[in-house]
Structure 1
């Protein structure tokens, strides 16, 4: 009958890879039960030894080390991107296009829909910008009332006067009014500016720009770091599971080399996230193409190669000739934690 000690040690043995347990689990368990009868009860050492086996690469396999380092680096970049994306899911939602258009009409006094631009901030967060050009007189009261009526709290408001530089179609410089303002609403921020001509022949010709974006969520930087670390560990562990087969190791190496371009882009994005001023000031446009078509093609090829490596690493039928068991140590050394 299964004893309480045996059940306890079987749980601790789960720290070892399954293939290693299948190969030496009975031997280790028997040794542990014998040690327990003598009053010795290894615990932490057993778990640490199991984790070491999970991270251990085959001896005298330089390609396995190359593959492991590549995998860790590439999946670290992917993990950083995943952590950043998860963090932004906790941020305040951008208002709908209809609400942004309604706010723009109230602010500017220009009827009709204006062009909307959905963009990505330097911290990989969402933002929406709207640009309205038309005829409408300058009114700071209209702007303030539109913002407060839509639930925004004005945090700054500045206006000034100037004159345009005369052109060939102008007999003289035209007076112009400038305005800039910022506001917050819940977890959102707003920035806007206006240029309104107040003299002939372009009286009340106006141009407005408005941008709305969510405040940086608190988990953003921690999750970006956590995603990077998780990716590094996952990449290394993946290769340790594949490295017992030379074909799988070669396929994995090629696959991760092909995916390095996209990983580099993700690392660059992660650096932007970490280095950007805290508090999400006015975001700027960033390149989200990630290298374009060539990078996408390389990444797809890399993913297929990695999938092929996983298939190639699957153990053959039990007892089949020439089919080594996945995960069985090449050195034939004693099991860690068994003594």
Structure 2
């Protein structure tokens, strides 16, 4: 009668769904044999896989995804390098997500008015901008040449009246803190001719989610990197291996920079300026003492393009020789 499922069809379907824990190359070669063996070994009348069988299939599938071809030491080296690269990429993604939790920094003009107490038209010369760094998130900066003397005490009082907590950092320097934002103010009260100067830099303190998201991203990247490397080493041909090796070489300066920022982030202490973020390493800047400012982001882009080339050659080229991967 139509509409009635044959006996055992639901059980077989469940077994085949569990086989998705295995990589595709294993399912293609051994999937039918495994399902047939399981069906023959199952007691009559069972409609769902036993819990022990289900967990065994899932565990075996995950082991297969992490298994590398036997007798190929270069595959192990490649897998380790790819895992490190994916970990760096995951840390950068987690760091970027963590920065989204920072308190927005107020506009530089509003902060400068608290620092100098002047209407903007009364300034001799004003410079408002921001700074992009390959180590920390962008900061707001401003400086002001005054036509009168500058009073640090009066400036600190204006910040206090606006709800900021002022912490002295020297005779002509203080920090104002509010809602996770830090403003460092310093200046010259009098240059000897009745003129003053004031400058400030503002940044956001890291949120509590920054480090956990960064570490979680790194771990997820590494967990995905090893099975991705295993899948590539089983399928890659010689012509795909060349761009893959070049990709690892090209991306290495960016990976070192990302892990360098990760180490700085984990060792940063409050009170030592802006916190470090991993993804900031991809911002153009003088990260390395030699080389152009765009060196790190260009290496990252080159690595991605070469990786895509290797993947395209793997998917479109002739299949690699079959290698045994029995359960």
TM-score range, shorter chain: 0.7 to 0.9
Q: Find 2:185's aligned residue among 189, 192, 195.
A: 192
What TM-score, normalized to structure 2? 0.79
State whether structure 2 residue 267 is matched by structure 1 residue 275: yes
Structure 1 residues 248-287: aligned runs within 5 Å: 248-277=240-269, 279=270, 281-283=272-274
State whether structure 2 residue 203 is matched by structure 1 residue 213: yes
Whichever of the two has the greater Rg, that structure is: 1
State whether structure 2 residue 304 is matched by structure 1 residue 303: yes
The 2-side partners of 1:120 and 1:222 are apart by 24
Runs of 5+ unmatched residues, structure 1: 160-177, 317-322
For the residue of structure 2 that corresponds to 1:42, the secondary structure is: helix
What TM-score, normalized to structure 1? 0.76
Q: Find 2:72's aligned residue among 21, 40, 61.
A: 61
Distance 1:32 1:136, change over 3 A: farther
Runs of 5+ unmatched residues, structure 2: 1-5
Distance 1:295 1:282, change over 3 A: closer
CA RMSD of aligned residues (A): 3.1
Aligned residues: 300
Distance 1:218 1:121, change over 3 A: farther
Structure 1 residues 1-339: aligned runs within 5 Å: 1=6, 3-37=9-43, 41-96=52-107, 100-110=108-118, 111-112=122-123, 114-120=126-132, 124-139=136-151, 142-148=154-160, 151-157=162-168, 178-197=171-190, 201-203=192-194, 205-243=195-233, 244-247=235-238, 248-277=240-269, 279=270, 281-283=272-274, 288=283, 289=285, 290-291=287-288, 292=292, 293-314=294-315, 323-324=318-319, 330-331=323-324, 334=326, 336=327
Distance 1:255 1:141, change over 3 A: closer
* Contact 2:83 2:222 (8 Å CA) reproduced: yes
For the residue of structure 2 that corresponds to 1:224, the secondary structure is: helix
Larger RCO of the pair (alpha carbons < 8 Å, separation 6+): 1
Q: Of Structure 1 and Structure 2, which has the larger fraction of its residues in helix?
A: 2
